[in-house]
Amino acid sequence: MAIKASSARARGWRPSWSDPRARALLYQVLVLAAVAGLAWFLVSNTLANLAARNISTGFGFLREEAGFAIGESLLDYAPADSYGRAILAGLLNTLRVSAAGIVLATLLGSVLGIARLSGNWLAARVAGAYVEVMRNVPLLLQLFFWYALITEGMPGPRNAHHPLPGVFISNRGLSLPWLQGQGLDGIAAGLVLAIALAVGLHHWAARRRAAAGKAPRTGRIACALLLGLPFLGWAACGGALHWDVPQFQRFNFAGGITLSPEFTALLAGLVLYTSAFVAEVVRSGIQSVGRGQWEAARALGLPPGRVLRLVVLPQALRVIVPPMASQYLNLTKNSSLAVAIGYPDLVSVANTTLNQTGQAVEGILVIMAAYLAVSLSISLFMNWYNRRIALAER
């Protein structure tokens, strides 16, 4: 027997039920066959159904005339434009609300997370209560609530609430003052140039430190650049810049920017909801840095600002960044709830498109592809950032 078995092994591998490799191969073949069979079943049914219902396939419909209006859009869009352009307008609306939401939720969430850890009893309790309430109520409900509050609870533009100078809340949305004038371009150009120069300066300083062991003091130069260049840009454009304050004229507000009720409700809901999660992420990140780190850094004679910047933050960020990335992704995906309150985001526009054309498969594919692309780019960026701040073990 033994001789026979070994000769069999010598001749080559013969599959047998008692060999785990053979079983693994068999399982995989079976699973793949099942998945392929299911896919074939679904695709063939779909094709048959589409043919039976006289629905065309393919993405040709993207070039046809859309024929529906979009409430607000960052690019010029008219009902006579194509479906493709409508979907692009929707995608831009999604990106707009997500970008604003991410920035605001990070700011508010960080403040709340730090407040929750504060020794101040009142601040900690208020932040704690906020987090618990916001996390445990569905976002969709919060959106309905804010939308109803704005459209039903707020007065008309004539008697708009006026909480801060230049800020008006009415049932037409939120009107804010906005900078206007030629100087804006100059400031933007100056700022971009200053950021580029500051980054370059930082790299140069890091190289000098590595080479000479002594870092040149670049902080003040960078500050001067960041403040000075936008100012120069503003001056170069003739100094034309003023606050454009919204004013009520006959029927509605003119001047400033007016955020629609849909956008305001969606942004408020997303920011207030996500900031509760961001607060928890920030809190756990800060808690993960032991007290000993603070004490040791102070014992070395570092001033508090540099303790925070050089010792605590690098360690806290390592814990904060991965869950923060998934909160950003959640916010972007949650912005699809816009469809429920009528903000024309990607899902809402694509949904209208697929209802009009009947091309459900393509419509859903467009939605999924767009979200996958956005999700993947956010997670690629956050992974890159995460690698940069990750522990460099030597």
List contacts with another protein (CB under 8 A). 24, 27-28, 31-32, 35, 42, 45-46, 48-50, 52, 116-126, 128, 131-133, 135-142, 144-145, 148-149, 152-153, 283, 287, 291, 333-334, 336-337, 339-340, 347, 351, 354, 360-361, 363-364, 367-368, 371-372, 375-376
Q: CA gyration radius for the chain?
A: 29
Which residue shows structure tokens 């679904």? 42
Beta-carbon contacts of residue 197 (< 8 Å; ≥ 6 apart): 222, 225, 229
140 versus 201: smaller Cβ distance to another protein:
140
Residue pointed to by tokens 């707009």: 96
Question: Which residue lies nearer to another protein by CB, 268 or 367?
Answer: 367
In angstroms, rounded to a whole number, what is the distance separating the alpha carbons of residues 79 and 61? 15
Nearest distance, CB of residue 125 and another protein, angstroms: 7
> Which residue, 149 or 319, is less far from another protein as judged by CB?
149
Distance CA 301, CA 303 (A): 6
Rounded to the nearest whole angstrom, what is the least distance from the CB of residue 223 to another protein in the complex?
Answer: 24
Q: Considering the complex, what minimum distance in angstroms separates the CB of residue 362 from another protein?
A: 10
CB of 154 to another protein, least distance (A): 12
CB 128 within 8 A of CB 116: yes
Find, among 192, 177, 297, the residue nearest to 241 by Cα.
177
d(CA 320, CA 279): 10
In the bound complex, what is the minimum distance in angstroms from residue 371's beta carbon to another protein? 5
- Closest separation in Å from C-beta 217 to another protein: 29
73: Cα separation from own chain's centroid: 19
Which distant-in-sequence residues (6+ apart) come within 8 Å of 248 by Cβ?
157, 158, 160, 168
User: Smallest distance from the beta carbon of 5 to another protein, in angstroms?
Assistant: 22
Closer residue to another protein, CB minimum distance, 320 or 354:
354
The residue among 38 and 227 lying less far from another protein, judged by its C-beta, is 38
When the beta carbons of 300 and 376 are compared against another protein, the nearer one is 376
Answer whether 231's CB lies under 8 Å from 189's CB.
no
The Cα 190–Cα 298 span in angstroms is 38
Taking the least distance from each CB to another protein, the nearer of 110 and 351 is 351
The C-alpha atoms of residue 390 and residue 392 are separated, in whole angstroms, by: 6
CA neighbor of 71 nearest in space, from 86, 50, 56: 86
Q: Could you tell me the smallest distance in angstroms from the CB atom of residue 137 to another protein?
A: 5
Going by the DSSP 8-state scheme, the letter that residue 312 receives in this structure is I
Q: Which is nearer to another protein, 78 or 133 (CB)?
A: 133
User: Which amino acid, one-letter code, is at 59?
Assistant: F
CA dist., res. 184 & res. 240, Å (int): 8
